[in-house]
Amino acid sequence: MRHIAFLSFSLSILAGCAGTLEPVHQMPEAAATPSKSQLWTDLESLRSDDWHFLLNDGASALDWRLRAIDSATQSIDLQSFLWEFDRVGEAVSSHLLAAAERGVRIRILIDDSFLYGADASVAKIDAHANIEFRIFNPYKRRSDSVVTREILNLGAFHRLNHRMHNKVMIVDSHVALIGGRNIADQYFGLHDTANFRDMELVVSGPGVSDLSAGFDQYWNDDWSIPAHTLIQQRDLDPALSVTDRPPSAISHIHQEESQQVRTARWLSLAERGIPGKSRLLLDKPPVNNPANRAEAPVQLGLEINALMDSAEEDIWIISAYLIPTAEFEQTIERVEKRGVNVHILTNSIRSNNHVSAHSAYRKHIRRLLEHGADLYEVRSDAKDRDIYMQTPLESKSLALHAKIMIVDQNKVFIGSANFDPRSLKINTEMGLIVDSEALNQQLRQATAPDFLPRNAWHLRLTDAGQIEWISDDRTLKHQPAQSFMQRIEDWFFAHLPIENEM
């Protein structure tokens, strides 16, 4: 998205006239009432409170995502920023289509940033009578090429620059998955060369109704456009039937289960689930035009600053893209002056999949260190990266994609928002603040390996004022770049006035 934003920003200088897309008003729809199937009745008999379960690694996250879809008897609401139709994307598609065949009502809302080249796959899913597929803030003129698409829609740059970054899946109004993962191989440890360290929660209990209400806000927004009005329906390949099951490439992660086995696994998960009081942070979707400054999605950002201001002991910030806004940076410095210890983990230049974002972050490193932040950057060759990806590891690199904040001994935030201008002021985001000492401690334990010298660079200022990058096997006097050309690219982006777009 950051490269697309940069491309759009550059091309907008040359923008000429182009047709506009108008919002589409439709009759409001509401989430289904909670299913009364035997599975959920049994689960509610065991646990009727709000409980949470960390999905720390990609394999378990994919396993539970597919199991949740397979468990649906009445409804599935799926909202995501990105959906690639690779092994993971096709497995999710296959399970959703099988659920639709069982009579499950499915609503899918996907941002249009990365749907280029996916119109045929979208049309295949949308063609099912029990599935409705909507695209958020879409490009009017479609193309399989990202460059061509940007050129064809130049006149709509300011509207298209505002994206929906939310990620949630709600099943039968009983359970939900929320966090940072998009739907693609690299978020679940299955990519052949590069994978993400990410985080999600399985949640259940009364709080799920807030997630359903939040989904309805976006589903009923006039900028959530039915896919069939944008995409020409094509003849579907008869080989792609709804009876297809996941490719054998993921059979070691998820296998078909009997209802009895599935129920037993849900009950076991609930028994291990951690209780806590959760609160949904949710940006407001646009009303008239996403480009309107008066409708800027700043609600989550304000709540995050308030969460940091509430700290008394320590804050642990984990963000794939860390580009502190003025308000965010001032909040960090304000709490540090009160004696709060601030620890930060983000991507290094080598692990960051968007060099432009790293270039903007790099301008803040010295200030963060001078004010007392304990700063770490992910090593792309982290020695414990097998936690997050499938073997063999030799040719695979690691990058950070999780969005986490741990505050004091009792509060955590897990969601879709990075701590940068794009997440806090431009894109819409969502996440949960959970008040739970047990979840706080479990999240500390789960993320502790990420800060180890074998997995991250520890940045420090020397007495001479030089920045050093320290790991378990070396100390660098310069950024751990992959190559000289990456340093040139970093230098180039650092000189462009694009930080507020990152």
The whole-number pLDDT of residue 239 equals: 44
Residue 377: closest CA among 417, 444, 318: 318
The whole-number pLDDT of residue 344 equals: 98
CB count within 10 Å of CB 312 equals 11
| Pairing of the two strands 374-378 and 341-347 | parallel
Torsional sign, CA 30, 34, 37, 43: positive
Contact 384, 455 (CB under 8 A): yes
3-state secondary structure 19-60: CCCCCCCCCCCCCCCCCCCHHHHHHHHHCCCCEEEEECCHHH
The whole-number pLDDT of residue 6 equals: 53
Contact 302, 331 (CB under 8 A): no
The Cα 423–Cα 23 span in angstroms is: 23
Contact 220, 28 (CB under 8 A): yes
The answer for residues whose C-beta is within 8 angstroms of residue 311's C-beta and 6 or more apart is: 335, 340, 407, 408
Residue 98: closest CA among 62, 61, 128: 128
Q: Could you tell me which residues are beta bridge partners of residue 496?
A: none
Q: How far is CA 143 from CA 89, 231, 405, 484, 499, in A?
A: 20, 10, 38, 34, 28
Any idea where the domains of the chain sit in the sequence? Answer: 2-15+34-272, 278-501
Q: How far is CA 145 from CA 115, 122, 148, 298, in A?
A: 10, 16, 5, 31
The whole-number pLDDT of residue 323 equals: 98
The whole-number pLDDT of residue 143 equals: 85
Fold designation for 278-501: Endonuclease; Chain A (3.30.870)
User: Containing H/E element for 171?
Assistant: strand 168-171
The whole-number pLDDT of residue 5 equals: 54
- The reply to whether 278-501 shares the fold of 2-15+34-272 is yes
Q: Which residue has tokens 């063999």?
A: 392
CB count within 10 Å of CB 327 equals 15
Report DSSP letters for 252-276, one per residue: TT-----HHHHHHHHHHHHHHPEE-
Contact 431, 178 (CB under 8 A): yes
User: Containing H/E element for 121?
Assistant: helix 119-126
Amino acid identity at 196? F
pLDDT less than 50: residues of the chain: 9, 11-18, 235-236, 238-243
- Class of the 2-15+34-272 domain? alpha beta
Could you report the per-residue pLDDT of 38-89, keeping only the tens digit for each?
999 999 999 999 999 999 999 999 999 999 999 999 999 999 999 999 999 9
Residue 393: closest CA among 253, 207, 192: 192
Total residues found in the chain within this entry = 502
Contact 279, 55 (CB under 8 A): no
Q: Which residue has tokens 């456009």?
A: 225
Examine residue 285 and say whether the peptide bond preceding it is cis (omega within 30 degrees of 0).
no
The Cα 471–Cα 479 span in angstroms is: 12
